[in-house]
Amino acid sequence: MCKVSRGSIILCEVPHSDFNPHAHAGLHYYVIVANNAACQHSPVVQAVPCSSNVNRRLPCQCEIQSNAFPRRTFALAEQLTLLPKDILERGQLKGYLSQESLAAVERCIKVQLNLT
């Protein structure tokens, strides 16, 4: 069972969705961005998928660093999503983002949601 909290890095398998075929699916890293109360009590939590694909950079993406990642990795705030807890609980807790990287992800979320 994988306990999650804000800033957790989870490697989990997310099923493909016919409803949203462009969403991140398959085995990927996700950074939990929900507050800790939601992580503890909600059946779903907000997460940002990560990618090592460096071909295209958007203003709502940022490089994040952690020993959990095997290579250069970017948070994709344009794909901010809700993940059911059962998917996260089947995943693997790989580590935690530093406060600096988590702050960068928060800035990207604000850009994506036009909150700046």
List pLDDT tens digits, range 90-114. Answer: 999 999 999 999 999 999 999 999 9
In this model, does residue 77 exceed pLDDT 70?
Answer: yes
3-state SS track over 10-61: EEEEECCCCCCCCCCCEEEEEEECCCHHHHHHCCEEEEEEEECCCCCCCCCE
Contact (CB, 8 A) for 11 and 92: yes
pTM of this prediction? 0.88
Measure Cα distances from 45 to 52, 57, 58, 67, 84 in Å.
23, 25, 24, 23, 7
In 3D space, the residue among 21, 17, 27, 45 whose CA is nearest the CA of residue 92 turns out to be: 27
What would the mean pLDDT of 64-86 be, rounded to a whole number? 92
| Average pLDDT score over the chain | 89
pLDDT at 18: 66
Q: Is 76 or 19 the better-scoring residue by pLDDT?
A: 76
Which domains are assigned to the chain? 8-112 (2.30.30.110)
What's the CA angle centered on 114, arms 7 and 65, to 5 degrees? Answer: 30
Predicted local confidence at residue 80, as pLDDT: 94
